[in-house]
Amino acid sequence: MYRCQSAEKLVELNERYRIFGRFRPSTIVDLAAAPGGFAQVALELMRTQWIAPQSALPPVVIAVDQRPIAPMPGLVAVRGNILQHQRILHTVQGILSQRTVSTKSSPLASSSARTAPLVRSVDMVLHDGVSVVKGQRTSSITYAQNQMALSSLLLASKLFQRFGPMPDLSTEAERPHPRKPEGCVSGSTSAPHVSSPVLPVCFVSKVLYCDHFPQVLAATRTLFRHVSTCKPLATRPDSLERYVVATHFQPAVWRRLTAPHAPAPQKNLNRRRKRNRPAASASLFSMAPAPEDCDRAHNIVWTCLGCGRTCLGCQPCVQCGPYRAEEDTAGSMTL
């Protein structure tokens, strides 16, 4: 028996897209993981004989949440806020370094590779967080959830860029069309064909279908080669939940987005803020709340994920500007 109903949704997503069979992950990071339904399914699938990891490393799920998670074999629970990216990256780096395995005792390693330890890489990132984010309780649930999904997308990109597997040049072919269960609402897109290598990884995130949904989807399409959306049959008929399944991360696009660039002059920025300005400041990752998201709280405080600025009210970030629908094309963002 699974810990929560969301576990059934991951089972259904895997049956549809075969993400565990195709990528055979050995290390997964589960964001906003409590009570552990996604992690439970992931460990179960990773131990299945025909989905066993390609390497000799035992399966591990790094589950991050501010709430406690009951232990299970293969689970590494981390108490933390998934919005604090640097802290999570530092913690994951420490766990990966501690979980390396010597190939001398590994029967699955080749004789030529038994002199060096097997180093873990982050192969998959899952996000099925709650719909209310700490510090955003004055905003609507749909805005809070999609802002957290956008933040999880950025964190997953950082995890793949720093700790992902080696690039794969054999994934240039189009992704096979998944089996479509009856009654499943879904859609899929693929980024334009490019010659740059991609990482054989997968990102799964819950998003709420609302006015902010196209922006989250556009940002995901920018960073991943193949992106699909689906409403699992396990969700309630009246639910706004959708799941984004993105595969084959594009490091070249990420490097282009985060390349240093000259910011527009801001009179109200002090020198310290200029020195600490985050590299990525595209309006695609700047999601301002709409007036209907704020109810009667006109002075809502929100964080721009494009530049890291703290903004007030429903106006777009003064540095990144408003999101425009024409930016919904992979590789077309202007920094």
CATH code of the domain covering residue 249: 3.40.50.150
Of 205, 228, 257, the residue at which a domain comes to its end is 257
Q: Which range has the top average pLDDT, 22-36, 164-178, 189-203?
A: 22-36
Query: Domain total for the chain?
Result: 2
Domain match, 152 and 21 both: yes
pLDDT digits (tens, 9 = 90+) for 3-42: 888 899 999 999 999 999 999 999 999 999 999 999 999 9
Domain match, 16 and 79 both: yes
Has residue 172 got a pLDDT over 70? no
Domain match, 219 and 313 both: no
Domain match, 144 and 233 both: yes
Rounded Cα gap, residues 224 and 240, in angstroms: 23
**Is residue 271, in this structure, part of any structural domain at all?**
no
pLDDT tier, 296 (very low <50, low <70, confident <90, very high otherwise):
low
Q: Lowest mean pLDDT: which of 24-28, 118-122, 259-263, 304-308?
A: 259-263
28 beta partners = 61, 124
Query: pTM of the entire structure?
Result: 0.81
For residue 297, the Cα-to-chain-centroid distance in whole angstroms is 29
- Residue of 312 and 134 predicted with greater confidence: 312
Domain match, 150 and 282 both: no
Q: Which long-range contacts (CB under 8 A, 24 or more apart) does 216-220 make?
A: 216/146, 216/149, 216/150, 216/153, 216/244, 216/287, 217/244, 217/328, 218/284, 218/323, 218/325, 218/327, 218/328, 218/329, 219/150, 219/153, 219/284, 219/285, 220/153, 220/244, 220/246
Of 225, 257, 289, the residue at which a domain comes to its end is 257
| Angle, in degrees to the nearest 10, between helices 213-223 and 141-163 | 10
